[in-house]
Amino acid sequence: MNKSKVAIIKCDTYDEEDVQRAVEAGLDLLGGLSLFVKPGERIVMKPNVLIGSNPEKCVTTHPAVFKAVGRLLQGMGANVYYGDSPSIGMAGFNMKRARLKQAGDELGIELADFDKGRAVSHNDSLLIKSFVIANGVLDSDGLVSLPKLKTHPLTRFTGAVKNQFGCIPGLLKSQYHVKLPDPYDFATMLVDLNTLIRPRLCIMDGIIAMEGNGPRSGKPRKVNILLFSSDPIALDATACRIIDLAPEVVTTSAPGEKAGLGTYHAENIEVLGEKIEPLIIHDFDAIRRAPTTRSAGRMSNFIKNRICERPAIDKAKCTNCGTCVRMCPVEPKAVDWYTGDESKPPTHKYDRCIRCYCCQETCPEGAISVEKPLLGKIYSRI
Ligand code: SF4
Ligand code: SF4
């Protein structure tokens, strides 16, 4: 069996020239960009925008990485576009806030349509037989994924695989949380999405990553690396080893290997460039235990509410803005002003909560984090 290749290049700055050199070096190690892209092809770059914010907050793929990859694709003679469907709002607005619109303008490339999409069937999938995919992706010849290295409460890690979730337009994304409340089913859906889209190449911005309460409200943490691979599972597994997170804990790893998307086993991955061991950050703040399965029928609400992790609001940080209430995808809402008093923070009803963490992901104040109930803490020590 051929091993999956993952290239690691050290880069400790977002200086454009340094990033350009680092991206070129990483692609050279993989055999050159010409292995993945042909002149004249329509290629869409997919950065991680989530909710557009200043690049210094490290929520989004940095414009320096975006520009370096864009320049090289243009140098190959590709017709380059870019896009992402954020968690809230239209793509263009969020791209502007992430300074990716300005980067795109400097490259002279256009925003593709990620706000609307078309239905596509996927007969070879593990679970989901049909997706609505953004027009910008369907109208391209290939996609180059530009994920950001960050923590995530649902999948534990967001990187090359989860980045493609933004190829589903708008609020259709949140419907997958409702349809697939079990984290392992949700992860299988992400894998199916990837086997449908098949990114040509993934280049991860891990120069300054995000630890703790990611993917939006964590802390920036210097990891000083860029990672390159055509195998999104191997790329994520390698990034996880660097932040001392076992790839087995990441929910997309096992279904990703089962679906033939890639491998997370170290013995099947050829690491090029830097060695992993000297880069490992043992105190990187991440949840290092696998999520508990919690789909209906597999666990009663009684047990779920006393053992499973759940979102919790820090009242001191909450500004009562209501974003969490609007973004909660279940009906009736699992976070709301149940007393009707909107001058106070909303509260959660955990019986209704599917632990999708849309509220945590979108809270603009970072007021929602993941907590484990007391019984859950005791249980995990047994
Ligand atoms: S989104 Fe955050 S700040 Fe806004 S109401 Fe919810 S918890 Fe409070
Ligand atoms: S309360 Fe939060 S975690 Fe629970 S279902 Fe609503 S958005 Fe998801």
Rounded Cα distance between 327 and 349, Å, is 15
Rounded Cα distance between 127 and 193, Å, is 10
Q: Ligand 2 centre from 359 Cα, in Å?
A: 6
Atom of ligand 1 nearest to the CA of 314: 7
Q: Hunting for tokens 């802390």 — which residue is that?
A: 219
Rounded Cα distance between 317 and 339, Å, is 20
Residue whose Cα lies nearest atom 7 of ligand 2: it is: 328
Residues with Cβ within 8 Å of 201's Cβ and at least 6 positions away in sequence, in order, are 30, 33, 36, 37, 144, 145, 228, 229, 230
Residue whose Cα lies nearest atom 6 of ligand 1: it is: 324
* Residue 324 one-letter amino acid: C
Rounded Cα distance between 308 and 294, Å, is 8
pLDDT band at 297 (very low <50, low <70, confident <90, very high): low
Looking at the CA of 305, name the nearest ligand: 2
pLDDT value at residue 106: 98
**Global pTM?**
0.94
Rounded Cα distance between 143 and 81, Å, is 9
State mean pLDDT over 97-117. 97
Rounded Cα distance between 382 and 198, Å, is 41
pLDDT band at 296 (very low <50, low <70, confident <90, very high): very low
Could you say which DSSP state residue 156 is in?
A: E
pLDDT digits over 196-215, tens only?
A: 999 999 999 999 999 999 99
Longest dimension (CA), the chain: 61
pLDDT value at residue 299: 61
Half-sphere exposure of 211 (CA within 13 A, CB side): 19
pLDDT value at residue 303: 72
In order of 145, 253, 266, the CA distances from 6 in angstroms are 14, 15, 11
pLDDT digits over 365-378, tens only?
A: 999 999 988 776 66
Q: Which of 313, 348, 357, 360 to mutate to test ligand 1, by most ligand atoms within 8 A of the CB atom? A: 313
Q: Ligand 2 centre from 329 Cα, in Å?
A: 7
Q: Three-class SS of residue 77?
A: coil
State mean pLDDT over 240-268. 98
Q: Three-class SS of residue 68?
A: helix
Alpha helix stretches (DSSP H) within 4-134: 16-30, 63-75, 91-97, 100-107
Ranges 196-210, 234-248, 285-299: which has the least confidence: 285-299
pLDDT digits over 1-13, tens only?
A: 799 999 999 999 9
pLDDT value at residue 305: 75
Cβ 284 under 6 angstroms from ligand 2: no
Dig out the tokens for 59 from the structure: 């929520």
pLDDT value at residue 38: 98
pLDDT, greater one: 224 or 379: 224
Cβ 51 under 6 angstroms from ligand 1: no
> Chain-wide mean pLDDT for the chain?
94
CA quadruple 157, 165, 176, 197: dihedral sign: negative
pLDDT value at residue 127: 98
Q: Can you state the angle between helices 172-179 and 183-197, rounded to 10 degrees?
A: 130
- Quickly count: other Cβ atoms within 10 Å of residue 12's Cβ: 13
Domains for the chain: give ranges and CATH numbers: 4-279 (3.40.50.11440), 301-381 (3.30.70.20)
pLDDT band at 306 (very low <50, low <70, confident <90, very high): confident
Does pLDDT of 293 surpass 60? yes
- Quickly count: other Cβ atoms within 10 Å of residue 155's Cβ: 24
Residue whose Cα lies nearest atom 8 of ligand 2: it is: 356
- Quickly count: other Cβ atoms within 10 Å of residue 369's Cβ: 18
Residue whose Cα lies nearest atom 3 of ligand 1: it is: 318
Could you say which DSSP state residue 98 is in?
A: T
Rounded Cα distance between 59 and 48, Å, is 8
Dig out the tokens for 369 from the structure: 């984090």
Dig out the tokens for 212 from the structure: 């703790």
Looking at the CA of 313, name the nearest ligand: 1
pLDDT value at residue 185: 97
State mean pLDDT over 97-119. 97
Q: Three-class SS of residue 245?
A: coil
Rounded Cα distance between 207 and 306, Å, is 38
Percent of the chain exceeding pLDDT 70 equals 96
Q: Ligand 2 centre from 177 Cα, in Å?
A: 9
Q: Is 141 exposed, middle or buried (0-12, 13-18, 19+ CB in 10 A)?
A: middle
Nearest alpha-carbon partner for 148 in 60, 213, 266: 60
Residues with Cβ within 8 Å of 231's Cβ and at least 6 positions away in sequence, in order, are 4, 5, 6, 202, 261, 262, 263, 269
Atom of ligand 1 nearest to the CA of 335: 6
pLDDT digits over 39-77, tens only?
A: 999 999 999 999 889 999 999 999 999 999 999 999 999
